Chain A
């Protein structure tokens, strides 16, 4: 009970009904992890942490079977047939992989989406999914415009923005469109620097360096997350104020980031996984949306770039300042 209470306090409270119920027992739960990213997968780590905090022991009460199809959700469709084996308790689809999972109707699917799950057709509404799907959204698309605005707030002279994007990331076109619209509203020229997957990231970075931009916007995804240090390094080398999606980028030297805390999101997703494994139906579990967004600033990078933060309206808004 002590342990449960502890988890209750740190687990975001979504595990509340679990307190009233008996422990799930020593049954081994099989979880399918599908992703359009590639390994190493920081999101899987976040989810694993969440499950561990809820008392699950990998190999004993839970096992993960990971399936990756970098950049190609359609390639994941073939694993759907694998699910017919019948011994899978839960599918967790990270990011755009959800697009490939729509054919699953008899196994609970947890998603963590950047976009709108209702628009994708996997749930009927946020309040009542009504299907075997539920999960969490990052509201990443909604924030795409906000990131450009913040970048302009910190660097008002911003005229030309390099947008570094992994086209392998399935939601990427929508994000690019939202960014583009925001740039237009703010009178900024957007320079699109696409690359495709981890193989092309070096070339992409070289291309980004060649664009004569005032700042760099990097779309959040697993590939850029994995190579965040390299990207941050490049931005500093080219004296570009950089904007990212999650605070992990700032930790690695990025100037700014704005977005939901992805670890918290995956942590919460684990509480939903727990509830489903304990017998609740996804159709009754409302889709979660983040209500807190982190604005992280790396002061060291700011100094290196010679940006005077004290004159901008950014510093007091930061929820995380790295110095």
Chain B
């Protein structure tokens, strides 16, 4: 039951949809997958290139900044070198002071200069803010600046935040002659802001400078530097993260946003320049490319959708048409034609289908004609008329002819009303027709109460004689059964059968569309005569039949009989009573009645 219910839906609807879906999905995937793959590959390569390029840009900018910072400190060192070229001699403090003042003029970042003699005693001090001093002053020989400069010619002090705000550094330079003493400059590092502020990486990228311990020295927003030592902790973290990476690293920037950063060391002073650019900007071009790709993909997807839909529709549409066509043909609409003009195999298929439909129509017409022919011709003949003409050509062959004839019909027909006669005749004809069909014999025709049957023509059979006899027995029994019924109704009707076998000419004869299939020859006459000779419930056969069926059906010879139209007497055989069931209903009674009528 479940199967029966599921069958129609699973057989008809889903396959159509799934074919459409399959084509649609396949075409769609075929168009979209390469598009997406292409974009993904493009994006990944683009990202790598972009990353490399950003690295290069950051490297260049950080390097430039570090170079300029080195130039700044080198310049400072060189300028201080001038201060310690000549050895100290008595009374030239004034000249040294002028030199120092000129140095201040020359280098804006220097806030003050101390010039010490070889003993480490301050001889000249000039400042932008404080009062200048000349002459022997304080002893600074134990100052780390003096010690550092004496040991190493040049000494860079640690970054210190004046009033915990402004970054300062001391630089000390010792002369090549110990007698030239040492020059110590206090440098305001706010001035390297110019170096850093000038660096712009892209739109919003920038560079910062931190010292060895991660404290901020320079930043484009100088107020961050001025916040002093305490608040520069986050820069230590950035320095550490960037320093740990080789090349550019993506880290969380000072404002909590992700940045791409790269650091470069400024050798002399041990500072680190960190160049950074917000990732949002650094990868903007990649993002733009991704956007472009996405739009292209979206467009491609739409086109692919439309194309795939169209293609799949073009594919499934004709198939649906074909299916409908088949359905129509099934319901007998043979005039239905499928119109497909796709110019491909489907059109070819439609063409073939249409041919098939027209042939089906012809064949249907043919079978309709056969049906009509069957009304007038024996069904085998009717088939043959349609299918093979040569079989129906007049030909000579051995046939078995069976005649049957009702006994006492004349008396019955004169005594009864026509409709009663008609009812009896109908029963009789139906019974004969049924037996004929059962034994595949050919019903040549009814002639009133007589009937003529043919065996082995037009359709050949293996043992025509035996078949003819069996047919005769069957026929006799069937009609006798009817005769019993008729007898009960008061009609004394009997039935006799004659069977003969011999060569005859068989074929169709007729005129103007009315065709009859018949046999001509002596055997037909003989069978007819034998029928006439036969008594009620008797089957008479000629010697040919008797000879042929002797082994299977017992025959009783009735002796030589003279038969009308034959010069010599002919031996006549009767199918043995043992083979004819003797207890045919009402036979004895009919015989008595008959005998009474005959006498």
Taken residue by residue from 67 to 90, chain A's Cβ proximity to chain B (1 for < 8 Å, 0 otherwise) reads as: 000000000000000000000000
Question: In the complex, what's the smallest C-beta–C-beta distance from A268 to chain B, in angstroms?
Answer: 10
Contact across chains for B129 and A143 when beta carbons are under 8 A apart: yes
Partner of A286 from B101, B131, B165, B220 at Cβ < 8 Å: B165
Q: Is B475 an interface residue (CB 8 A)?
A: no
Closest residue on chain B to residue A128 by CB atoms: B227
Cβ of A189 under 8 Å from chain B: no
Q: Is the CB of A139 within 8 A of B197?
A: no
Residue A60 at the chain B interface, CB threshold 8 Å: no
Give the distance to chain B from A158, nearest Cβ to Cβ, in Å.
Answer: 15
Q: Which residue of B lies closest to A314 (CB)?
A: B101
* A285 B129 Cβ-Cβ under 8 A: no
Interface of B is mostly: mixed
Cα A312 to Cα B317 in complex, Å, equals 107
* Residues A146 and B129 in contact, CB atoms below 8 Å apart: yes
Min CB distance, B111 to chain A, in Å? 8
What's the nearest-Cβ distance from chain A to residue B187, in Å?
11
Residues 58-117 of B contacting A (Cβ, < 8 Å)? 97-98, 101-102, 104-105, 108, 111
Query: Can you list 9 A-B pairs, Cβ within 8 angstroms, ordered by A?
Result: A125-B164, A126-B226, A127-B231, A284-B223, A286-B165, A291-B108, A291-B166, A293-B128, A316-B102
Say whether B230 contacts A127, CB under 8 Å: yes
A289 touches B166 (CB 8 A): yes
Interfacial residues of chain B within 498-541, with CB under 8 A of chain A in the complex: none
Which residues does chain B contribute within 8 Å of A292, judged by CB atoms? 108
Q: Is the CB of A286 within 8 A of B226?
A: yes
Given A14-B222, A286-B227, A286-B228, verify A127-B105 contact (CB < 8 Å): no
Nearest chain A CB to B253's CB is how many angstroms away? Answer: 11
The residue that B165 contacts in the complex, of A146, A185, A287, with Cβ under 8 A, is A287
Report whether B193 and A149 are in contact in the complex, using a CB–CB cutoff of 8 Å.
Answer: no
Shortest beta-carbon distance from B206 to chain A in Å: 8
Cβ of A157 under 8 Å from chain B: no
Given contacts A125-B165, A127-B163, are A185 and B131 in contact (CB under 8 A)? yes
| Interface assignment of B324: CB less than 8 Å from any CB of chain A | no
Chain B interface, number of residues (Cβ within 8 angstroms): 33
The answer, among B101, B197, B220, for a CB contact under 8 Å with A313, is: B101
B residues in contact with A14, CB < 8 Å: 221-223
Interchain CB contact under 8 A, A19 and B222:
no
**Taking A286-B165, A317-B105 as contacts, is the C-beta distance between A142 and B223 under 8 angstroms?**
no
Pairwise interchain contact B105-A316, C-beta atoms closer than 8 A: yes
User: How close is B131's CB to chain A, nearest CB, in angstroms?
Assistant: 5
Q: Does A95 contact B (CB under 8 A)?
A: no
Residues of A close to B108: CB separation below 8 A: 291-292
Which residues from chain B contact A182 at a C-beta distance below 8 Å?
A: 131
Is A173 engaged at the interface, CB distance under 8 Å to the other chain? Answer: no
A139 cross-chain contacts in B, Cβ below 8 A: 129
Instruction: Select from chain B the residue with minimum beta-carbon distance to A20.
Output: B204
Considering residues A14, A126, A287, A316, which has the most beta carbons from chain B within 10 angstroms of its beta carbon? A126
In whole angstroms, what is the CA distance A145 to B220 when docked? 33
**B220 near A16: Cβ-Cβ < 8 Å:** yes
Q: Cβ of A55 < 8 Å from any Cβ of B? A: no
Q: How far is the CB of B44 from chain A (nearest CB, A)?
A: 30
Are B101 and A317 in contact, with the CB atoms below 8 A? yes
| A187 on interface, CB distance cutoff 8 Å | no
Q: Which residue of the partner chain, among B163, B165, B191, B221, contacts A16 with CB atoms under 8 Å?
A: B221
B480 at the interface (CB under 8 A from A): no
**A19 contacts B98, CB within 8 Å?**
no
Contact pick for B163, options A19, A126, A316, CB 8 Å = A126
Q: Are B164 and A316 in contact (CB under 8 A)?
A: no
The residues of A that contact B403 with a CB separation of less than 8 Å are: none
State whether the Cβ of B436 lies closer than 8 Å to any Cβ in chain A: no
Residues of A within 8 A of B231 (CB): 127-128
Chain B residue nearest to A17 (CB atoms) is B221
Asked if B222 and A13 sit within 8 Å, CB to CB, the answer is: yes
Nearest-neighbour CB distance to chain A for B243, whole angstroms, equals 25
B204 (CB) vs chain A CBs: closest residue = A20
In the bound complex, CA of A149 to CA of B129 (Å) = 11
Kindly identify, within residues 265 to 323 of chain A, every residue whose CB is under 8 Å from any CB belonging to chain B.
Answer: 284-289, 291-293, 313, 316-317
Add 16 more A-B contacts to A16-B197, A149-B132, A286-B223 (CB < 8 A): A13-B193, A17-B221, A125-B163, A126-B165, A126-B228, A127-B164, A127-B165, A127-B228, A128-B227, A128-B228, A284-B223, A288-B223, A291-B111, A291-B166, A292-B108, A313-B97
**Cβ-defined partner of A316 (8 Å) among B101, B129, B228:** B101
What's the minimum C-beta distance from B238 to chain A, rounded to whole angstroms? 17
Give the residue of A13, A127, A143, A287 whose beta carbon is less than 8 angstroms from that of B220.
Answer: A13
List the interface of chain A (C-beta within 8 A of B): 13-14, 16-17, 19-20, 125-128, 139, 142-143, 145-146, 149, 182, 185-186, 284-289, 291-293, 313, 316-317
Q: Which residues of A contact B558 (CB under 8 A)?
A: none
A142 and B220 contact, CB distance less than 8 A: no
In the complex, what residues of A have CB within 8 A of residue B102's CB?
A: 316-317
A19 with B204, Cβ < 8 A, contacts A286-B165, A316-B105 known: yes
On chain A, the residues within 8 Å of B230 by CB distance are 127-128
B190 beta carbon closer than 8 Å to chain A: yes
Which residues of chain A have C-beta atoms less than 8 A from B223's C-beta? Answer: 14, 284-286, 288
CB neighbours of B334 from chain A (8 A): none
Contact with A along B219-257 (1 / 0, CB 8 A): 011110011101100000000000000000000000000
* B contact residues around A142 at 8 Å (CB): 129-130
Given A125-B164, A127-B165, residue A313 in contact with residue B98 (CB < 8 A): yes
A186 to B188, CA, bound (A): 27
Closest to A258 in B: B128
Give chain B residues whose Cβ lies under 8 Å from the Cβ of A288: 223, 226
Closest CB in chain A relative to B366 CB, distance in Å: 91
**Chain B residues in 8 Å Cβ range of A317:** 101-102, 104-105
Q: Is the CB of A126 within 8 A of B190?
A: no
Chain A proximity of B217: nearest CB distance (Å): 14
Q: Is B161 an interface position by the 8 A CB rule?
A: yes
Shortest Cβ distance from residue A162 to the other chain B in the assembled complex, whole angstroms: 20
> Inside 8 A of B130's CB, which chain A residues have their CB?
142, 145-146
Alpha-carbon separation in the docked complex, A250 to B161 (Å): 34
Residues of B within 8 A of A316 (CB): 101-102, 105
Distance in Å: Cβ of A316 to nearest Cβ of chain B: 6
A19-B204, A291-B191 known; A146+B131 contact, CB < 8 A: yes
In the complex, which residues of chain A have a beta carbon less than 8 angstroms from the beta carbon of B101? Answer: 313, 316-317
Give B179-211 as 1s and 0s: 1 = Cβ < 8 Å from A's Cβ atoms: 000000000101101000100000010000000
CA distance A192 to B164 in the complex (A): 36
A220 to chain B, nearest CB (A): 16
Tell me whether A13 and B197 are in contact in the complex, defined as CB-CB below 8 angstroms, given that A127-B226, A127-B230 are known contacts.
yes
Question: How many angstroms from the CA of A186 to the CA of B133 in the assembled complex?
Answer: 11
Residue of B nearest to A268 (CB): B222
Q: Which residues of A contact B165 (CB under 8 A)?
A: 125-127, 286-287, 289
Chain B residues near A126 (CB-CB < 8 A): 163-166, 226, 228
**Residues of B close to A145: CB separation below 8 A:** 130-131
Q: How far is the CA of A287 from the CA of B164 in the complex (A)?
A: 11
A19 partner residues in chain B, CB cutoff 8 A: 204
Residue of A nearest to B278 (CB): A20
Pick from B131, B161, B193: contact of A127, CB under 8 Å: B161
Nearest-neighbor residue (CB-CB) of A127 within chain B? B228
**B310: min CB distance to chain A, Å:** 48
Q: Once bound together, how far apart are the Cα atoms of A139 and B105, in whole Å? A: 19
Contacts of B129 in A (CB 8 A): 139, 142-143, 146, 293
In the assembled complex, the Cα of A43 lies from the Cα of B130 at a distance in Å of 26
B104: which A residues are within 8 A, CB to CB? 317
A150 to chain B, nearest CB (A): 10
Instruction: Check B105 against A149 for contact (C-beta < 8 Å).
Output: no
CB nearest to A139 among chain B residues: B129
Q: Tell me the bound Cα distance from A78 to B101 in angstroms.
A: 48
Per the bound structure, the CA–CA distance linking A186 and B222 in Å amounts to 37
The distance in angstroms between the C-alpha atoms of A284 and B223, with both chains bound, is 9
CB-CB under 8 A from B164, the residues of chain A are 125-127
Question: Nearest chain A CB to B135's CB is how many angstroms away?
Answer: 13
